[in-house]
Structure 1
Amino acid sequence: MTSLRGIAALLIVLNHVTLLMLPLGQTQAKAALIKTGILGMTVFFVLSGFVMYYNYAHRIAANRSEGTVHFLFARFARLYPLLIAYVVLNFVLNVSRSLSSGNAAGASLYVATLPLYLLGVQSWLYAVIDNVNVTVSQYFGNPAWSVSAELFFYTLFVPLIALRKARAPSVTRGLFIVIASIAARAAFLTAANAIPVQHWIAAKLGESSSLSVYAWLVYYCPYGRCFEFFAGMGIAQIWLARRERGHARSVLADRLGLLAGACGLAYVTASFMSEIVFSLPSLFEGIATHFFYIMAVPPAIYFLSRERGVAAKILSRAPLLFLGEISYSLYFVHTLVFPLFRVPPTTDLALHLPMVIGRCAAFLAITLVVSTVVYRTLEKPSRAAIMRMLGMSVRAQTQAQSVQDTEQVASLASRQ
């Protein structure tokens, strides 16, 4: 799973490099390059649901208070230190850029929406200020929207797990969750694609030239993307049930899961050939991409996560594991680096190929080095420090309870 997280981050990096740093959006490859971003985010959210369920569901179900505290501390330690550093750094850059160019209104917008970014809730609401959607109102810091969506998923995860009865993983239940999540995502996408719905939201809440209602609903809105997270939870339950129940009844379900995963991988592969090798827009373009990716990615992750499969052996290679470890830092760091190497849209890539290759190589090297440094000096130490605080808190509570129990025993003995 660590390697898949790194691959998801690489897909996002590829999307930004080819379409924002290089002018490849003007070539025939544009359709495929757009899909790298869509696929990367879908993989990220489905994978997140898988990992959350796998690591924390049993803890929360077994002991609600202790499991919930551990989950919240662990997730806070994982996300917030780097998120806050990224948001504050980009806020300073944004305000400095606006004030230096005499754009006081822009600086005011950054100040007004900064609290939303620090809390990580900027994607939770549709709001327009000065013709700018608040979800993308911090310019350089806009990629933090995905972490905001992730935090929304966490607010749903704890109640869902805490309120359910502690039951063993079930293939049937997991399959139901996956199918229901896909159906709900499809229904949400259908509604988001409806022109009357878009017009109603624009009339009631405003419209932004920086981010259309359609784009917010389909790509940024956590209320629609949470179903990808749920689908990952369902796949995790199927995976755990298959692992814990190794009897013959699970063989058929496993084979069907592998077949679905192979079909999912085949669709993803074919989607990148659309508009290059063939043209089937009803299956591979526009809203269809979002719909079929939510159908393809969950079983594909199940296929790739089989601990004895060939794919799993490839994903266990050290370079991919390393990318997975630094994936969070990589996601943020690359957004600060690629603008430094942007190639003008009017550049003839064929005539300036050495320059383009040099910029790409420099971008990649700097991004990997800085991401590694950020991971080792900020992300990892901060996470460890916060988890140590949790450990000290738990030990203090245990010692206090032990003292209280001892005093109660002594009091009873003295009375006797």
Structure 2
Amino acid sequence: MESKLVTAKRAQLDELTGLRFIAAFCILIAHASHWLSPTQPPHSVINWIMKSAGIGMPLFFVLSGFVIHYNYGRMFDKLTFNGYFKYVFARFSRIYPLYFFLLTVALFTDSYLVSLLRQNAGYLNGFISCLTVLHSWFYYLLDGKLLINKIFGLSWSISTEFFFYFAYPFISVFVLNTISGTRKAFIFFLFCMVAPLIVFWWGFCRQEEIYLFMARYFEPISGVQNNSVSRWLWYFSPYSRIFEFIAGVSVAKLYICIIENHRYFGFIQRHLTGAIALAIQICVHVFFVVILFIELPYIQFIRQNFLLAPMISMLMLSLLLCKTAINKIYTSKLMIMLGEASFSIYIIQTWTLKLFLPHLAPYSGTFLPAQWASRVVVAMTYSIVIALGTYKVIELPAKQFLRNLSLQYQSIVTYFGVVTLLVGLSSALLRLFY
């Protein structure tokens, strides 16, 4: 659980810890399958497996929203400067140390450092944006590539996650604090499931207008799909992904209201039987697979962000409110251990998988499924083992050190954080407008 300074202690939810590993695993198997493919373009089987990343990222963001409100919701009865930065620093200490370590590795293993040492202003601004974790907040090209594709590609989600951390206290104070009672929480939950679908339908129908508007203000822009302004807006940027985070917040709000209201909780316990809950959980898992095959234009568009969030929310509620056989899987010791290291598993794969790239040890012939599959399994196992090590050696000790530091030098840490954020924002804005 989180530090007593910043959160009231609640019961540990092991089901969600296990679910975090599923999120990390989906992304790991997608990247391993793609990056270790011996053929370009990848075989159709690999193309299908690659789509599992579209399950992992929404799962991470919805879980993040749930965990943040579940742990910190009671802290923000009102918004204070001191309370806000205590909370932000608690989240910073959880994620930033390993991120900073791997960002340093990225500098020395890629060509970015060479351009930086040549005093390239664009690269300097880009580095400051990465260092201050703001690089997914703006459409930022370097040599025709998005900054998030130029250095440490997976870090875009860390930047997006930090945007959620900064935004949550305002959501809590100005929205969640106005919602009291289980009925209002349920209405808010339904609103958070439906409203984004309408917003994204509007965006889907006006893609050309939005593109022309953004092209007017973001120069230069790239025509390459993965570096395009549309890809940034709908997939990478926090402005579209925050709906998944808010969906998770709404699940946490509803869950807390249910368990604190004995009448509603008792009703659910009596009527939501194990068989019904298990049926819901199986249907959701099947939906995750089936949706990968649907190629309708709107489905493809919203699969970049919110599509799976409602089903993920239903899965989380069913896991938390009723115990089934699937709960036993998610709460096993192995799943909890891997779930606790899920952040390390996600973020370290950029380098662990590179050790197994085909050009380092060429395949014989064309696509050999057994050879490819064995390489993927070995690479994934290696990545997980290394991630468990970085979790124990870097994540946990660094988090504890930084939180102890914040207790001893609270005012210094707070103002240093403000200055750092302002430097990062200034650097990004200078790049955009000058």
Tell me which moved more, 291-300 or 82-91. 291-300
Give me the whole-angstrom Cα distance separating, in 2, the residues matched to 1:360 and 1:174: 44
Flag structure 2 segments of 5+ consecutive residues without an equivalent: 1-15, 411-434
Rg (Cα) greater in structure: 1
**Structure-1 residue corresponding to 2:372:** 356
- Return the match for 1:47 from 51, 63, 79: 63
Give me the whole-angstrom Cα distance separating, in 1, the residues matched to 2:392 and 2:120: 33
Matches within 5 A, 1:134-173: 134-138=147-151, 141-163=152-174, 170-173=181-184
Query: Counterpart amino acid of 2:191?
Result: A
Structure-1-length-normalised TM-score: 0.80
Matched, 1:272 2:285: no
Tell me which moved more, 177-186 or 147-156. 177-186
Conservation of the 8 A alpha-carbon contact between 1:343 and 1:356: no
Give me the whole-angstrom Cα distance separating, in 2, the residues matched to 1:174 and 1:116: 37
Matches within 5 A, 1:187-336: 187-193=198-204, 194-205=207-218, 206-208=220-222, 209=224, 210-248=226-264, 251=267, 266=283, 268-273=285-290, 280-282=294-296, 285-289=299-303, 290-306=305-321, 308-336=323-351
**Structure-2 residue corresponding to 1:2:** 17
Q: Do the aligned partners of residues 185 and 254 (structure 1) sit closer, same or farther apart at CA in structure 2, a change above 3 Å counting?
A: farther
**Match of 1:272, SS?**
helix
Tell me which moved more, 204-213 or 385-394. 385-394
**Structure-1 residue corresponding to 2:357:** 342
Conservation of the 8 A alpha-carbon contact between 1:8 and 1:43: yes
Deviations 1:125-176 (A, max 9, x none): 12334322233231xx011000100100011111222446867863333333
**Structure-1 residue corresponding to 2:94:** 78
How far off its partner does 1:381 sit?
0.2
How far off its partner does 1:72 sit?
2.0
Conservation of the 8 A alpha-carbon contact between 2:18 and 2:331: yes
Q: Do the aligned partners of residues 106 and 181 (structure 1) sit closer, same or farther apart at CA in structure 2, a change above 3 Å counting?
A: farther
Deviations 1:311-364 (A, max 9, x none): 3222110111111111111112111111221236986566473x4344234313
Q: Do the aligned partners of residues 347 and 236 (structure 1) sit closer, same or farther apart at CA in structure 2, a change above 3 Å counting?
A: farther
Flag structure 1 segments of 5+ consecutive residues without an equivalent: 395-416
**Match of 1:22, SS?**
coil
How far off its partner does 1:370 sit?
1.6
**Match of 1:337, SS?**
helix
Conservation of the 8 A alpha-carbon contact between 2:284 and 2:311: yes
Give me the whole-angstrom Cα distance separating, in 1, the residues matched to 2:335 and 2:246: 26
Work out the percentage of aligned pairs sharing the same amino acid: 22
**Match of 1:88, SS?**
helix
Conservation of the 8 A alpha-carbon contact between 1:330 and 1:371: yes
Aligned length: 386
Matched, 1:382 2:398: yes
Give me the whole-angstrom Cα distance separating, in 2, the residues matched to 1:348 and 1:185: 47
Structure-2-length-normalised TM-score: 0.77
- Compute the RMSD of aligned alpha carbons: 3.6
Tell me which moved more, 124-133 or 385-394. 385-394
How far off its partner does 1:15 sit?
1.0
How far off its partner does 1:266 sit?
2.4
Give me the whole-angstrom Cα distance separating, in 1, the residues matched to 2:338 and 2:307: 27
Q: Do the aligned partners of residues 334 and 22 (structure 1) sit closer, same or farther apart at CA in structure 2, a change above 3 Å counting?
A: same
How far off its partner does 1:181 sit?
2.8
